[in-house]
Amino acid sequence: MTTTPGRRRVAAAITTAALLLPLAACGGNDEKESAGKSAPFSGARLTVLAAASLTDVFKTAGAAYEKEHPGTKVTFSFAGSQELAAQVKQGAPADVLVTADTRTMDGLGDDTATPTVIAKNRLVIATGEGNPKKIGGLKDLTDPGLKVVLAAPEVPVGRYSEQVLDAQKLTVKPVSQEPNVRAVLSKVELGEADAGIVYRTDATTVPDKVDAVDIPDAQNAVASYPAATLRQSGDSKAATAFVKWLSTPAAQKILQAAGFQQP
């Protein structure tokens, strides 16, 4: 049978289309795989329980993390470390825990994955602006005429405060014992106390309202901040990624800019 030029063109077109279909399909798969690799945790929703002293810096860190991981939303809940530990034990829905001491974290046992220390901190004496009582060091806090406020002993900063005062054999009778470091700072900031012991990073958040009196390193305590994924997390993969990110140069730059020390 004779094949006309028109039939030959139709046959060639069908053959070409048949050859191109598999290539198009392969290209589609490659694009999907590439998109998946660029945003592995897209749409993740993380709840992070964090020590009160991390309030300001973690808001900045959270925004930076969301920018680096489009589609991910990080929500923080700040409180004293002992309060956060109680929430974890009660099964509160959360993915990551960051405390202001290793003791509280270690007390949770199997409720967390292996923790990683992401930052350190030191204590200072917070006074009213201009230091009107002329407080120069820890010994001055024993003056019965001063209104001194401390965190409660079960709070990490309260325990650190007791540690440094006991080491110097000093007895301080606080007018109140607060549930977290921000509550101590607030008492001084509002003029309800003459002085209080807080973390250095907390005092720097309100430089126009309180002064910070340094405590010499030989008399000071070092606070360590461990971070860990919670076993009860609904997205352990995304939670683990966030904990790892806290040790990256980008996160460490944010923490150190806020006054935290290297782990």
Per-residue pLDDT of 60-94, as tens digits, reads 999 999 999 999 999 999 999 999 999 999 999 99
Percent of the chain with pLDDT strictly greater than 90:
84
Is residue 90 domain-shared with residue 167, that is, in the same domain?
no
d(CA 2, CA 253): 78
Q: Which CATH number do you get for residue 51?
A: 3.40.190.10
Per-residue pLDDT at 19 exceeds 60: no
Structural domains counted in the chain: 2
Contacts of 4 (CB under 8 A, 6+ apart): none
What integer is the mean pLDDT of 119-128?
A: 98
Is residue 77 domain-shared with residue 139, that is, in the same domain?
no
CB atoms within 10 A of CB 124: 22
Contacts of 219 (CB under 8 A, 6+ apart): 137, 138, 164, 167, 168
Per-residue pLDDT at 39 exceeds 80: no
Per-residue pLDDT at 128 exceeds 60: yes
Q: In whole angstroms, what separates CA 13 from the centre of its chain?
A: 61
In a domain, 19, yes or no: no
In a domain, 12, yes or no: no
Type of residue found at 225:
Y
Is residue 207 domain-shared with residue 245, that is, in the same domain?
no
DSSP letter (8 states) at residue 2: P
Is residue 186 domain-shared with residue 134, that is, in the same domain?
yes
What integer is the mean pLDDT of 158-185?
A: 98
Is residue 112 domain-shared with residue 242, that is, in the same domain?
yes
* pLDDT of res. 22: 42
Per-residue pLDDT at 51 exceeds 90: yes
Q: 143, exposed or middle or buried, with CB in 10 Å at 0-12, 13-18, 19+?
A: middle
In a domain, 113, yes or no: yes
Is residue 251 domain-shared with residue 195, that is, in the same domain?
no
* pLDDT of res. 201: 98
* pLDDT of res. 37: 39
CB atoms within 10 A of CB 234: 14
Is residue 147 domain-shared with residue 186, that is, in the same domain?
yes
In a domain, 228, yes or no: yes
- The token pair that represents 67 in the structure block: 């920018």
- Range list of H helices, 50-197: 55-68, 81-89, 102-106, 156-167, 181-189
In a domain, 34, yes or no: no
Lowest mean pLDDT among 19-23, 101-105, 237-241, 256-260: 19-23
In a domain, 193, yes or no: yes
Per-residue pLDDT at 41 exceeds 90: no
Closest residue by Cα to residue 190 from 178, 172, 173: 178
What integer is the mean pLDDT of 149-168?
A: 98
Is residue 91 domain-shared with residue 126, that is, in the same domain?
no
d(CA 98, CA 47): 11
Confidence of residue 43 (pLDDT cuts 50, 70, 90): confident
Contacts of 189 (CB under 8 A, 6+ apart): 206, 209, 210
CB 254 within 8 A of CB 238: no
DSSP letter (8 states) at residue 130: T
Per-residue pLDDT at 175 exceeds 90: yes
* pLDDT of res. 42: 60
Residue range 199-247, pLDDT digits in tens? 999 999 999 999 999 999 999 999 999 999 999 999 999 999 999 999 9
In a domain, 14, yes or no: no
Is residue 108 domain-shared with residue 182, that is, in the same domain?
no
User: Of all helices (H) and strands (E), which one includes residue 222?
Assistant: strand 222-229
Is residue 159 domain-shared with residue 247, that is, in the same domain?
no
Is residue 199 domain-shared with residue 235, that is, in the same domain?
no
CB atoms within 10 A of CB 119: 27
Containing domain of residue 241, as a range? 45-120+224-257
Is residue 201 domain-shared with residue 129, that is, in the same domain?
yes
In a domain, 35, yes or no: no
Per-residue pLDDT at 108 exceeds 80: yes
